[in-house]
Structure formats: C-alpha cells, structure tokens
Structure 1
Amino acid sequence: MKIKHVLRGVISLVGLTFWMLSCQSMAVEGHRVELFVADKVDSESYLAYHYGNRQYIQDTTYIDANGFAVFEGAEKLTRGLYLIVFDDDNSFEVIIDDNQHFSVHVMAEDIMGSIRFESSPDNDIFYNYLHFLTGKNLERREMDEELRAPGITRDRQLLLQNRFQEMDSLVREKQDQIIRDNPDGLLALILRGQRDPELPELPLLPDGSQDTDAMYKIYKSEFFENIDFSDSRILYSPVYHNRLRVYFNNVLIQNPDTIIKEADRILEKARANDDFFRYTIWFLANNAETSQIMGMDKVFVYLIDNYYATGDVYWIDEERRQRLVQRAANMRRLLIGKTAPDISIFDTEDRPVSLHAVDAEYLILYFWDSECAFCRQAAPLLKEAYRNLRDEGVQIFAINTETNKNRWLNALKDYPDTWVHGQDVTNRSGFRDIYNIFAIPQIFILNKEKQILAKDIGPEHVERFIRQEMRSK
C-alpha cells in the first residue's frame, strides 16, 4: 500500500534544504522496534520505507493507553531509511540497518527536541548529524535574511559570504568524520553517494582561457563515482533516485541521442547489482515516457526495444512485456524525423483528402473537436499563426475527431475556409490509432516531405517554431 509521497510535518534528513541525506538496512534475528510516545495514545502508527522517491507502508501498529507500540516480525527488514508515521501524518525517519532491535522515545509535538534511542548507535549518529544540520540551517537562514536587508554594507556582505564558506567546510568536516568513523554504515554510504565528484582546477585552452567544456565532460563522466553500485541499501533512500533525476534532467543536454548514450552507460554500471539494474531501467523508461520535452519518446522506444523486448528486463510477465512492445511500436512511427503516416479523410462534400497530397512548405496537422474547451483556446492562436505564415507556404490540415458531421459543419464557420478540413466519422482511415489520438487538441508540424518536425506542441509555439525552422535552412 502506497502512502503519501510528501508527508506533512515529517522530520526528515531528506527534507532539510541545506544538505540532503537518506538511508537503508538489515539485522540479526527478525526485527523489533519499540516506540514510546509520551503524548500520543490510543492511536495507530505506521512503519514505512523509502524506495527511491516514494514511500510505502511496511507495517501498522497501535499505540496503547501508555504510549507504547512495537513493530516486530520474524523476518529481517530490508535495510534502509524508514519512517515512523503517526495518525496525523506527522512523522520522523529512522535508520534500520544491520541492527533491527532498538527502542525510540519521542514526543510527537517536539520530535527533534525529544527523540532519543536505546541500543541504536546508527540512529544516535544519525540524529546527532540531523541536529547539527538543523543548527547550521538556522544560522544560514539568519545570515540570508541579513544579506537581503536594505542598507547592508559591502564589508558585511563579504564577512557573511566568508561565514557561508566556513559553514560549508564545517559540514564537510562533519560528514568526513562520520564516513571515517563508520565507513560501512548506511549514513556513510549515503553521505558519499550524494556528493558531487571532486573536480580539478579548470584546464586552460592554448589562449590561456579556461576550458569549461573539458570541465563539463569531467563532471559528467564522474557524476556517479561516489555511488557504490554493489551496495543496494542506497536504493532505499531518495539519494540514488535524485542522482538519476538531476543527471538525466539537468546535467545532460536534453537531446534524445545524448540521453540514450548515457542511459546505456549508467545501465552498464548498474548491472553490478540486480536491484540497481531494476531501479535504473525503471527510472529511465518512466522518465522518458513522462517527459514534457519533445522527442524524448525516442528514448522510451529505444529502452523498450533494447532492454524490455530482449528479455533483459526478465522480472515482468509476458503480458506486460507485450503491452510495452506494442506501445513502443505505436510511438515509433511518430518519432521526430519519421515520415508522418499518410491518412485519407473526407472533406465537407465527402470527397477523400490525402494528407500526403497536400502541397505545403510546412504543414500543421491539427486534430480537434468543436466541443473541446482546449481546442477553442487553441483555435485563435492557430488562426493567427496561419495569417502570419500562409504567404510563406504554410498550410493547416485540420481533422475533426467527432462522429457528428452536422456539428462539425456548423463549427467550420469559425475557421478559415482556406484550411484543408476533413472528418472521418467511421474512423475508416484509422487515424485515431495511427496518430495515438487519446487527447485533443493534438498538433504536428511536418515539412514539405511530410517528415515530423514537431508534435504535441502548444499552439502558442507554432509560429515561432516554424520561423526557426525557416531560418535554419
């Protein structure tokens, strides 16, 4: 059972905005986590675990009239960063690593101020670090406010900036101490894993200027150097997920071919551990499928073809595999650069009109419905783009998706009669399946050869996109 991805009031290492953290675990014989809550009685409590950027309920217990509850079982828990959640969604995190028999004493109304552990050195270190970070965050907020204050002198600004650097150094030293003293602990694993690579001084070009391109390549190639791909505990924290998200969505140039190349590289690293490989391929496929960046469906198709269809992703059942393979096949014919599938629809006189027969330097393929509110918003923008571009060889091929011809004909009075208008009431052309029309409006931009230049593009961007294409010729 999945719980909320964001838990109100969570006392969270990950939630700290200054320096982020997280965890994972495993124990001796079974597990037993005792909970003593002085100000919470006769209520439910939940034990949940992190897996990537999500949290899932592991167990439920009841806090009795004395404020006592216990989570226990004969099996060891997967080692990781866990949440103890109260019935009002207030919660706090605990490390469950090799030691899975310990007690927590806490006040629900003052978690950070009251929490203490028995028989859990990992959590003693964890909360010592959290208290340290909380104090540094408070100092930083106060200094930020002072920096934004009107009338601050230049000397004071420089002093505060130096204090920021000193604070960063103190945090780094604290992390180094934890890693040095507890190198095999989950907290050390996470602290290492969330660190950016150490970079050399910027190399110089022959003219003496700094070679920022070379530095970017080094940063990119070593971005995952602090992730131990043989130790899957870090998967049960947000650290690895966030590393993937930042790398594939921010560090890399958002070009499908670049993403594909790097996906292969990171997946090869992830093969060191089956759990890592599972999470990485899931993240990459999901990230590509849900991306709002045009053309990223090419990445999804590539991953399905080269990992899912081949059986590399062996843990899914055959029915699921075939659905994904079919989805990739449906997407493949509409990838950027592909020739748009030809379809023949019918004009107002029931004469067939072929998409490929329309002669235009650029053809805007527009799927719409007269009762669609978003289509009504898109129409004026497309009309304006058409007015500004028609003399440069731009045409609009407007396909109405309704099954009511009279309603379509009545709606056409609001559209230019110089557009190519058509409808296919019985879906004889199969346009809905061919063009994956699950929602409207849908807009494609084709060149003279009917190759797809853009798709799922907002009507407000159509004119600018076409003009950029014209200039790039």
Structure 2
Amino acid sequence: MRILKLLILVFVLGITSKTSAQEIYNADYSFTIEGLAAGENMRLAYYLGDKQYIKQESLSQEGGLVNFKIDTLHVGLCMLVFPDNNYFEFVAKEPRVIMKTNKDDVIGAMEVIASEENAKLYEYLKYNNQRQMDLQKIEGNAQLNDEQKATMRMDMNQKGQVRQKEFVEKYPNSFMAKLISASMEYVPKDAPEGLSDDEINAFRFYEYRKHYFDNIDFSQSDLLYSPVYHPKLMAYTDQLTLQQPDSLIAATEYLLGKASANDEYFKYTLITLLNKFAKTKVICQDEVYLHLVDNYYLSGKAVWMDEEGLTKLKVSADNLRNNLCGKLAVNFELPDVNGTKQSLYAQSAEYTILAFMQTDCIPCEKVLEELSNMDQAVLPSFKVVTVFREGDQTAWKGVLMNKTKDNWVNLMNVDGALNSERDYNVQSYPTLYLLDKDKRIVLKRISASQIVDYMNTVNN
C-alpha cells in the first residue's frame, strides 16, 4: 500500500467536456477491507494530470465495508485513500466494482469479485509486486557480488519488459494495457548506414522524439485521469526540446495540435503549458507565455475563460510585448540628479546595464554594491543606467553618493514619465536588464552575478 504524499482535500470536477468526456454514470463501488475498523473516513479520489482530487467520502461499516455511490465519474485510475493517506489504486471504467482485500497486504490479498478491468489490473500488480520482492532479495543477498547482482537485475528487468508486452497483447483493450503501453519507452529503429556517431545519435534522438506520444490515444481522455500523461508532457518540453523560445513555441504547437483531438486533453495541456511558462525562471522564456496568450486565449480558443480572466491575461501579456529578448528596449528621457534629461539611446557602450531601483530598498542597495564591484576585466565596455522610482530627492541623492559610481547615469522616473510596468515589466525592485550596443535586450530580470556569468561566457 502506498502513501499519498499530496492529496488536495477539495471536491472538484476538474475538466469537463460535453463533446468528448469519458464518464461513468451511477457508479456503485464497494470495497471490503479486513482489518479496517468501523467509522473510518475513507475517500475515493481520482487523478487529473499531476494532481489528485477527492470525489467522495464514506465512513467504513462493520466488517470493513466501504461503499460509494457516484452520479458521474471520469474513466481513469482512481484510488481509495485511508485516513493516514495510505491508498491503493483501482480502475474506474465500469459502473459496478466489488473488491475485497486485507489492510496489511492490499495487493497480495486482493480479490476482485466484480470488475474485469480490476481483475486485469491486479493480475499485473501482483506479478510486479512479486518481482519487486525478488529484486529486494537479490539486493540483500550477501553471497552475491556487485557484478552478479547487476546481471540478475538486468535479467529480471528484461523479463519484466517481456511480461509487459505479453500483458498488452493478452488484454489489448484494457485500461491497464493502455497504462503500460503509454509508459513503455519507444526504441528507435536503426540509423541508416554510413552516418557518423554524432549523426547516429541525432537520428536516434529525433526518431525517439517523433514517436514519443505514439501510445497515447488523444481522442480518448482516460489516460489524462492517470499519472501517465503529465510527466510525458513535462519531459517533452523540458528534456526533448531545446530550451530556446523558438523551439519551445514549436513544441507547444505540436503538443496542442496533438491534444486538439479531445477537448479535455486540449484544455489540460493548454492550461498546464501556460502555467509552466508563466512561472518559469528561465530567462527569455516569457516569449512562449506571450505566444500562448495571444494565439490561444486572446484568439478565443480557450472557450472556458471568462472576460475577467481574459482581461488579466491581456494585461500580463501587454506588459511583455515591449521587452522580449532580442527586441529593442523602449527608449526614454528622464532627469538625472542635476535635472538634465538623459536618453537611454544616447548612452554609448558595448553593453548597458539598465537597473530599475527605488530608495529605502535593502535588496536594491545590495545589487548596487554588486554592480559597483564588478570586475572591469569582465565588463570592459559597459555603462550602468539606474532608473529610480519617484521618491524623496534627498534619500535618492544619499543612495547615489554611497552606492553608485561617478560614471553611472542615474535617473529618476519623475511623474511616471516612463511606464516601467508596461515597457519593462517591472513588477518589483530591483529589476535588471542587459542591453547590447544597439540597445537590444540580451538578458532581462536577472541578477548581477548572472550578468557576470554571461559576460564570462561571451569573453571565452
């Protein structure tokens, strides 16, 4: 029996779709669990992507009987959760399920009385459970050396792969077969003859990526309600895609094209990708977020969004449009400490560090010190331009005197002449940009140390 580490204790229906949902109606699920006391609060939960949600709660009866009567439930993998968050899984695909087991040995003692799907599930789980115990015996056998253990592990793993294929062939239409197939690694075909080692590796990689989702039927939503789809979605974007905006945008288009075969897959995939790139800490990947907002949300394809939500997304997207990596930074003219207006574009330097600051800001003072201490050998031709949020002039001059250098250009955003939120997406202070000699954005929303790291890479 496994422990549920994260269970969201709310009742939600998740994603619904009138056109393509796979649902069970009037489900009657009964579980008899020997060793379970009466009056225990048991929960029936389901997967949705990488989360788990409670569908219904029920108190156990005498003899360990737990019963759930559910009006509608998505086809997929569910779990019965104990009060201590231990749980066991079962397939929800039939309207009637009757299962019996022992609390102390759920898999080994499982008896499926009514449910062909769960009989197949536990046939496989019992085999896999025994296999895991055999592996543990190998690891604990002091008479075997490391080489012998490795050989035996490899042999057992190969037998496990054969057993998986046999199971899929034996029960091709079962939900468990779908789970196994979707989890199996695709083995790329042999590369053409005459290729170099690098070309062979590239061939295998692209062949593997091309077939990565072959065993997921996007026209059916059942695997969305299992732990299988979300990790594959993340692996495709994080591990099988070059982490550059153009490549990531192409990947999101590919994924959403696949997911468009089913309303539920499309909604989940789009929401997941949007949240991923909204929260990304990787510099310059916000271009992917902007692409998703413009091409899917603001274009009307996210039909579930209300006007208020769309308005918020539009504002967040508009705050990114003018400051994407590779674009010219928005020019501005602001007064310096002497009241003389200075233009960003008038600053001549190989690189310009543009620093948005405010007074009475300890993190800002720390960053100013870091910028002051930068090694001239690392940044041989750069200029620092600070733009302070409008505030007390005396406090501003005090910061400049103690924390900046004489050759810096220090400006104040008087009367909000520069819309720093719209043009530079300044949400907090300090915020740093690195611009090239043409004032194109090289890096954004970075630390002083990241600027040094970047310049070290360029110089080398």
TM-score by length of 1: 0.84
1:137-168 Cα offsets, whole Å, 9 max, x none, are: 3444565678xx9xx99xx4443333232222
The 2-side partners of 1:129 and 1:47 are apart by 22
- Picking from 209, 214, 218, the partner of 2:207 is 218
The answer to whether the aligner puts 1:194 opposite 2:183 as a matched pair is yes
User: What residue in structure 2 maps to residue 34 of structure 1?
Assistant: 30
Tell me, what secondary structure is at the counterpart of 1:224? coil
User: What residue in structure 2 maps to residue 336 of structure 1?
Assistant: 325
The 2-side partners of 1:207 and 1:191 are apart by 34
Q: How far does residue 44 in structure 1 lie from its aligned partner after superposition?
A: 2.0
Q: How far does residue 455 in structure 1 lie from its aligned partner after superposition?
A: 0.9
The answer to whether the aligner puts 1:401 opposite 2:397 as a matched pair is no
Change (3 A) 1:206 1:212: closer
The 1-side partners of 2:5 and 2:299 are apart by 33
- Judge conservation of contact 2:368–2:403 (CA < 8 Å) in 1: no
Change (3 A) 1:208 1:88: closer
The 1-side partners of 2:185 and 2:146 are apart by 27
The answer to whether the aligner puts 1:465 opposite 2:460 as a matched pair is no
Structure 1: stretches of 5+ with no match in the other structure? 9-23
The 2-side partners of 1:135 and 1:241 are apart by 28
- Picking from 445, 449, 454, the partner of 1:456 is 445
Q: How far does residue 370 in structure 1 lie from its aligned partner after superposition?
A: 4.7
- Judge conservation of contact 2:369–2:403 (CA < 8 Å) in 1: no
Matches within 5 A, 1:254-403: 254-385=243-374, 387-389=376-378, 392-401=380-389, 403=391
- Judge conservation of contact 2:330–2:423 (CA < 8 Å) in 1: yes
The 2-side partners of 1:261 and 1:396 are apart by 36
The 2-side partners of 1:158 and 1:139 are apart by 17
User: What residue in structure 1 maps to residue 45 of structure 2?
Assistant: 48
- Judge conservation of contact 2:358–2:388 (CA < 8 Å) in 1: yes
Q: How far does residue 83 in structure 1 lie from its aligned partner after superposition?
A: 2.0
- Judge conservation of contact 1:345–1:353 (CA < 8 Å) in 2: yes
The 2-side partners of 1:49 and 1:463 are apart by 48
Tell me, what secondary structure is at the counterpart of 2:324? coil
Q: How far does residue 432 in structure 1 lie from its aligned partner after superposition?
A: 3.3
User: What residue in structure 1 maps to residue 413 of structure 2?
Assistant: 424
Change (3 A) 1:422 1:210: closer
User: What residue in structure 1 maps to residue 16 of structure 2?
Assistant: none
User: What residue in structure 2 maps to residue 121 of structure 1?
Assistant: 116
The answer to whether the aligner puts 1:442 opposite 2:431 as a matched pair is yes
RMSD of Structure 2 on Structure 1 (CA): 2.9
Between 1:87-96 and 1:346-355, the stretch displaced more is 346-355
The answer to whether the aligner puts 1:90 opposite 2:54 as a matched pair is no
Q: How far does residue 301 in structure 1 lie from its aligned partner after superposition?
A: 1.4
Tell me, what secondary structure is at the counterpart of 1:342? coil
**What is the letter of the counterpart of residue 216 of structure 2?**
I
1:72-118 Cα offsets, whole Å, 9 max, x none, are: 03x33111111222233222222111x13223434545544544432
**What is the letter of the counterpart of residue 172 of structure 1?**
Q
How many pairs were matched up?
A: 443
Change (3 A) 1:411 1:419: same
User: What residue in structure 2 maps to residue 78 of structure 1?
Assistant: 74
Matches within 5 A, 1:138-149: 138-140=133-135
The 2-side partners of 1:416 and 1:141 are apart by 64
- Judge conservation of contact 2:277–2:286 (CA < 8 Å) in 1: yes
- Picking from 161, 168, 174, the partner of 2:150 is 161
Between 1:105-114 and 1:64-73, the stretch displaced more is 105-114
Change (3 A) 1:109 1:346: farther
The answer to whether the aligner puts 1:103 opposite 2:98 as a matched pair is yes
Between 1:317-326 and 1:358-367, the stretch displaced more is 317-326
The 1-side partners of 2:136 and 2:369 are apart by 47
The 2-side partners of 1:332 and 1:209 are apart by 38
- Judge conservation of contact 1:204–1:210 (CA < 8 Å) in 2: no
Change (3 A) 1:210 1:262: closer
Change (3 A) 1:450 1:33: same
- Judge conservation of contact 1:364–1:396 (CA < 8 Å) in 2: yes
- Judge conservation of contact 1:356–1:450 (CA < 8 Å) in 2: yes
Between 1:266-275 and 1:397-406, the stretch displaced more is 397-406
The 1-side partners of 2:429 and 2:121 are apart by 50
The 1-side partners of 2:193 and 2:443 are apart by 39
Structure 2: stretches of 5+ with no match in the other structure? 9-20
- Judge conservation of contact 1:39–1:109 (CA < 8 Å) in 2: no
Q: How far does residue 26 in structure 1 lie from its aligned partner after superposition?
A: 4.5
Between 1:291-300 and 1:423-432, the stretch displaced more is 423-432
- Judge conservation of contact 2:259–2:266 (CA < 8 Å) in 1: yes
Q: How far does residue 283 in structure 1 lie from its aligned partner after superposition?
A: 2.4
Change (3 A) 1:133 1:408: farther
The 1-side partners of 2:138 and 2:431 are apart by 49
The 1-side partners of 2:88 and 2:360 are apart by 49
